[in-house]
Structure 1
């Protein structure tokens, strides 16, 4: 078996290991998405409180 075939086999084995690891990974429930969602809610509420400051300038 040539060196390049062994090298590709090692990459394939490692890729399989990483895929298995990724499939079992569960991020913390209080991660980025909920914080971003609440930030957007807070922003929306602030815009409702001060509608005159909510002007959007064209780019």
Structure 2
């Protein structure tokens, strides 16, 4: 791939990622103040349940 083509693709992808991040940040600002706290809490509950679950036996090969 030519370096110019690679650079154009890189800049395009970077712009897409910036736009996506900006949209996410603006949506996060619109959420209620406790929304992040609630999401974090449920994520920690899910993680704790995964850690507390009995490990599955490895399949015999």
Instruction: Report the TM-score range of the alignment, normalised by the length of the smaller protein.
Output: 0.3 to 0.5
Larger Rg: 1
TM-score w.r.t. length of structure 1: 0.42
Determine which structure has greater relative contact order: mean sequence separation of CA pairs < 8 Å that are 6+ residues apart, divided by chain length. 1
TM-score w.r.t. length of structure 2: 0.41
